[in-house]
Amino acid sequence: MRVEMSCGWSGTIGRRARLGLAVAALLCVRCGTPRSIPPQTQAAAGDVSEDSAVIWARGASRGPVVIELSTDPQFAGAMRFERTISDPLVPVKVEAAGLSAGTQYYTRVTDAGGGRALGRFRTAHGDADFHGLRFGVSGDWRGDLAPYPSIRNAAGRDLDFFVAMGDTIYADYESPALIGVAQATRLSQFRLKYAEVYSPFLGLNSLAELRASTAWFATIDDHEVTDNFAGGAAPWTHPLFGLTGEYINETVFFEGGLRAFQDYHPIRDEYYGDTGDCRTAGKRKLYRYRTFGRDAAVFLLDARSFRDMNLDWEVNLEDPLSTTYFLLVSLQRDRTMLGAEQFSDLQRDLRDAHRRGVTWKFVLIPEPIQNLGPILSSDRYEGYAEERATLLRMIRDEDIRNVVFIAADIHGTIVNNLTYTDDLLGPQIPVESWEVTTGAVAFDPVLGSVIVDQAIQLGILEPNIRIYYDELPRSLKDGFIEDALNGLLALFGYDPIGLQDSNIPATLLSGGYFSVNMFGWTEFQVDRDTQRLRVTTYGVEAYRRDILDPTLVPEVVSDFVVEARP
């Protein structure tokens, strides 16, 4: 078996070496001892525009760290920045301005101890021409499931950028970096969680290698702080946030999680101004709008910091009144997932990209917007159905074409076209937009198992189905769950999974539109000449801590193309 790593090493791993690595992983996760997080010298860049980028550096030694930036891989005529590492757990960043559009840059970080790291990235094309585009997206990686073989091939894909779609740590899960700590509470603990996922383990460091290979964008979901929090809710609604402040996004605990997120990602520290809404005024701004020539525009959303509290209502399919109540309240109550300011920014920028003739509009939102049914939907955009309908209605009414939503969070790949309704008893109105969910990079249990267990708990499936399901090959597991989910969607008049028989001009090349038993990531490629979009999901078999195999190599799970509407 041949394995190639972006750090430059290439070699053959024999059966004995594979077995040794697997045994080492098994012993490590079973012993329960803390995993050492050695200081690292690392380089990354992100938040790119046509003329700027944020350069990120982590040093293994205290003292001055030199950051160099050049269009020459030998660093002739390099821009030079110097910062100070006061704590190896705290990275530093610089913002480089005046860069050339559509240009390859190289970075070099040298710390006080002589440690050195290299990186590279490309700026966005700033003109009105077509150049083609290739980027990757995924999210959801737990520290105890490192070193993430599911994403090991991404660094070699020559990506223009990669988007980390939230749950970039699991602060509320114990991991080898913090044995015995079920919830990070101090800033140093949040930072250690990030250091863990970007550190080598068992000879592999997939995420750090990926970040060194391309530009990086990132947003949060919930586990950067704690599970299912709502930043726009009052602190007293959650036991971890105390009683001080009007909103959770004003609390010390929230700020600790967000401070560490900012520290460990090559992104700008941006803040909203005086918005007239105390929910967003002066608060951290993770929303980004970027264009890449006329090929694509990217809209990166924060769906956690400003949202209203999730609807506290369990849907029971055997009680039609409970389902009706949930659907009615989510559709009619004035509730927001994005916050008024961010929602307005998204609408404005979608119109701007449309006016400028940008072909593809990629809306990246951590939680899915597609209809997956009311069960456990309060955390998704279905739980904020009025705002969801307003957005989709605008896209339809204003004929904003080629809008693709990309989501993570649910730990599986599900592709479907989008519909909305204006009222509870009204028809589903199709929009010429669609969504693909991606990931998880590594989360146990995998989505397929979660769906089966939930269906058993809700009485939808008999308990003995679990034994039957576990014995199926992966493709049949996916098919079994897809059929069950389509049955649920049909109950509510929603379209079945997939783009077949929809208003989306898609062609499936391999695999399917549904994969819920793999770990992986998704690549989006816009062809320069035809503007055709190709969507390829890569993955490895899902694993647990006790059967982690760092030599797994990603394979193509799903591959399809979509024609651009002129």
CA angle 340, 346, 349 (to 5 degrees): 135
Per-residue pLDDT averaged across 471-477, rounded? 97
Long-range contacts of the stretch 323-326 (C-beta < 8 A, 24+): 323/374, 324/424, 326/374, 326/377, 326/378
| Closest to 162 (Cα-Cα) out of 224, 206, 130, 99 | 206
Residue 190, judged by CB atoms within 10 A of its CB (0-12, 13-18, 19+), counts as: buried
Q: What is the mean pLDDT of the chain?
A: 94
Comparing 25-29, 83-87, 293-297, 382-386, the range with the smallest average pLDDT is 25-29
**Res 313: pLDDT:** 81
Q: How far apart are CA 215 and CA 45, in angstroms?
A: 5
Q: Is the pLDDT score of 8 beyond 60?
A: no
**Res 23: pLDDT:** 39
Q: Is the pLDDT score of 69 beyond 60?
A: yes
**pLDDT-derived band at 34, boundaries 50, 70, 90:** confident
**pLDDT-derived band at 185, boundaries 50, 70, 90:** very high
**Res 27: pLDDT:** 38
**Res 33: pLDDT:** 56
**Res 311: pLDDT:** 93
Structure tokens at 107: 């970075």
pLDDT one-digit tens code per residue, 247-270: 999 999 999 999 999 999 999 999
Which of 4 and 116 is assigned the larger pLDDT? 116
* E strand or H helix that includes residue 29: helix 15-31
**Res 525: pLDDT:** 99
- For residue 121, give Cα distances in angstroms to 53, 105, 211, 545: 9, 5, 9, 33
**Res 2: pLDDT:** 30
**Res 249: pLDDT:** 98
Q: Is the pLDDT score of 25 beyond 50?
A: no
Structure tokens at 346: 């998204």
**pLDDT-derived band at 320, boundaries 50, 70, 90:** confident
Handedness of CA 290, 347, 312, 438 (dihedral sign): negative
Per-residue pLDDT averaged across 494-501, rounded? 97
**Res 30: pLDDT:** 40
Per-residue pLDDT averaged across 202-206, rounded? 96
User: Contact 140/92 with Cβ under 8 angstroms?
Assistant: no
Burial readout 68-98 (b: 16 or more C-beta within 10 A, e: otherwise) = bbbeeeebeebbebebebeebbbbbbbebee
Comparing 12-16, 280-284, 334-338, the range with the smallest average pLDDT is 12-16
**Res 1: pLDDT:** 29
Comparing 21-30, 143-152, 177-186, the range with the smallest average pLDDT is 21-30
Comparing 41-45, 357-361, 453-457, the range with the smallest average pLDDT is 453-457
**Res 36: pLDDT:** 80
Q: Is the pLDDT score of 353 beyond 70?
A: yes
Structure tokens at 176: 């080898």
Per-residue pLDDT averaged across 367-392, rounded? 97
Q: How far apart are CA 116 and CA 60, in angstroms?
A: 9
pLDDT one-digit tens code per residue, 538-550: 999 999 999 999 9
**pLDDT-derived band at 459, boundaries 50, 70, 90:** confident
Residue 213 CA to its chain's centroid (Å):
18
Name the pTM for this structure. 0.94
Q: How many residues does the chain have?
A: 566
**pLDDT-derived band at 425, boundaries 50, 70, 90:** confident
**pLDDT-derived band at 3, boundaries 50, 70, 90:** very low
Q: How far apart are CA 400 and CA 351, in angstroms?
A: 7
**Res 431: pLDDT:** 98
Through-space distance between the first and last CA atoms of the chain, rounded to whole angstroms: 45
Residue at 145: amino acid letter? L
Q: How far apart are CA 377 and CA 251, in angstroms?
A: 27
Residue 324, judged by CB atoms within 10 A of its CB (0-12, 13-18, 19+), counts as: middle
Q: Is the pLDDT score of 146 beyond 90?
A: yes
Structure tokens at 270: 């941006």
Q: How far apart are CA 514 and CA 509, in angstroms?
A: 14
Ordered by where they begin, the domains of the chain are 2-33+124-562 (3.60.21.70), 36-123 (2.60.40.380)
| Closest to 298 (Cα-Cα) out of 210, 357, 358, 213 | 358
pLDDT one-digit tens code per residue, 85-111: 999 999 999 999 999 999 999 999 999
CA angle 526, 528, 532 (to 5 degrees): 45
Q: How far apart are CA 560 and CA 507, in angstroms?
A: 6
Q: Is the pLDDT score of 14 beyond 70?
A: no
**Res 458: pLDDT:** 85
| Pairing of the two strands 161-165 and 215-219 | parallel
Q: In what order do the strands lie in the sheet with 429-437?
A: 288-292, 296-300, 360-364, 403-407, 429-437, 413-420, 514-515
